Amino acid sequence: MKIYAGFDSGGTSTRCLLADEQGHILGVGKGGPSNFLFCGRELAAASIKDSLNEAFRASGCAEAEISGMFIASAAVEVFGGEDHAGFFREVTGCPYVECDSDIFPVWFGGGKSRFAPAICTIAGTGAVTYLLSGSRFVKSSGWGPLFGDEGSGYDIGQKALKLCSCMSDLRKPMDPEFYGAVLKHYQVDEDHPRRLLRAAGQPREDGLGQDYRSRAASVTRVVDQLAVQGNASARRLFDEAAEDVVRSVEAVIRRSGQEDPYDYHEKDSGETFNLVLSGGLFRPESPLTLAVKEKLAGNTRIADITLPRVPAVQSAAAIALFRASRQEAAERLMEEAYE
């Protein structure tokens, strides 16, 4: 039996999905971060192996070989697709590896018409917006945690930590609900708030992440829950994040007529686009999704706002099939129920 694999290689977690040549899901696995730009190659390699081994255990096909593999990763732009693919070949032992931007599974899974013109925004640990149409490939944001990734889980988490530090020493008004929830997430006693420095910044075996970026992003889940419950401090953070997302969307529209992705002059094509929202922060009724939809409600250049029908890892495996000239199997996989 031929097996095809898709990987969603992220800054917080790695997911692997195995499918057969007919397009049926065989098994799914999960590991830690594998974007080695931030977590290092050793941890990335361990995360890849963990996710692949777990997927094989779930499939019951431990002895089978992988006939094709597609990896979606945000690290591709910096290292190049072939360099990143080489890393996966080395780690997995599979010679049939293709690697490209993490936007491709979002674009592929964004609608019934594969690779139709669209604006795709990802907001997970990092954040980035692309406009994709034929040969046009226009990007905004996604500059990484040092001076970018606005609207991401890391960005929101970092702002939440900063807000707590300001509340602690009275530079900002105290919000006991918000403050207490963030400190509790990092297992820090409110009597010793400066221990947050160590708890948020130093990796440990507590499930919050093995690098500083993942650990900061992890608290965004708490902020999300608070925003759903109506907490004003949490809602402000998501409102700011939505503004950042909207600015990125509007920026790629202003450059939508560019053929050269590195030409940063305005050249508006005048087209309308569907907007696809993807990543852990975009759920059907999540605070960020609702805020972005509200802010773009009057934008005549956005025809529709949707979320991908399947997870990025499932779409990545479908691309592996698609590129192996198994289009029918790829479409069948896109219809399979993800577990």
User: What pLDDT digit, counting tens, does each position of 242-293 carry?
Assistant: 999 999 999 999 999 998 888 889 999 999 999 999 988 999 999 999 999 9
Each residue's pLDDT tens digit, 93-146: 888 888 888 888 988 887 667 778 899 999 988 899 999 988 888 999 988 888
Return the CATH number at 64.
3.30.420.40
Same domain assignment for residues 101 and 120: no
Each residue's pLDDT tens digit, 153-207: 999 999 999 999 999 999 999 999 999 999 999 999 999 999 999 998 877 777 7
Same domain assignment for residues 231 and 272: yes
How far apart CA 226 and CA 156 sit, in angstroms, is: 13
Same domain assignment for residues 87 and 202: no
Same domain assignment for residues 118 and 219: yes
Same domain assignment for residues 55 and 13: yes
Same domain assignment for residues 200 and 95: no
Same domain assignment for residues 167 and 236: yes
- DSSP E strand boundaries for the chain: 3-9, 14-20, 25-31, 66-73, 97-100, 118-123, 127-133, 136-141, 273-278, 302-306
- Our separate counts of H helices and E strands in the chain read 14, 10
Same domain assignment for residues 61 and 136: no
Taking Cα atoms as reference points, which of 149, 143, 277, 279 lies closest to residue 216? 149
Q: What is the secondary structure of 161-208 as a DSSP string?
A: HHHHHHHHTTSS---HHHHHHHHHHTT--TT-GGGHHHHHHS--SSSS
Locus of tokens 């219809």? 335
Rounded to whole angstroms, what are the CA distances from 136 to 17, 58, 78, 139? 29, 39, 19, 10
* Pair type for strands 3-9 and 66-73: parallel
Q: What is the pTM of this model?
A: 0.81
